[in-house]
Amino acid sequence: MNRDSKMMHFDLQSMIVRHERTARRFAVRLDKKIGYLSYEKPEPRILDYAHVYVPPEFRNKGIADKLTQTALDYARENNFSVIPSCSYVAMYVRKHKKYRDILVNPG
């Protein structure tokens, strides 16, 4: 099996996104690499979702969506408001309007 075909076979549904509080990110292991959504906490009840990163060879497979959905669900379940500073997170929220109620400025 070549390297490319190995990377094509992963199960997005069973992929575990971990909340790494000390690193302030939601992360997923991808072979020996990591995809993540990093955040800042400018106020006690506000999370600023600053950046989503997925290694190039894993892009366009739904990983960024899964990271973003997990982070937004975490915010909702824990009564945080969200600033979608990352353009990917902002785009995701525009497509998934059910998250608009947790935005700091839903505009």
Assign 3-class secondary structure to 19-88. Answer: EECCCCEEEEEECCEEEEEEEEEEECCEEEEEEEECCHHHCCCCHHHHHHHHHHHHHHHCCCEEECCCHH
* Structural domain contains residue 62: yes
* Structural domain contains residue 7: yes
**What three-state secondary structure class fits 91?**
helix
Domain that holds residue 56: 3-102
Q: Burial code of 76-88, b = ≥16 C-beta within 10 A, e = fewer?
A: eeeebbbbbebeb
Q: Is the pLDDT of residue 5 over 50?
A: no
CATH code at position 19:
3.40.630.30
pLDDT of 48-97, one tens digit each? 999 999 999 999 999 999 999 999 999 999 999 999 999 999 999 999 99
**What's the total number of domains in the chain?**
1
* Structural domain contains residue 94: yes
pLDDT of amino acid 9: 56
* Structural domain contains residue 56: yes
Predicted TM-score (pTM) above 0.85 = yes
* Structural domain contains residue 107: no
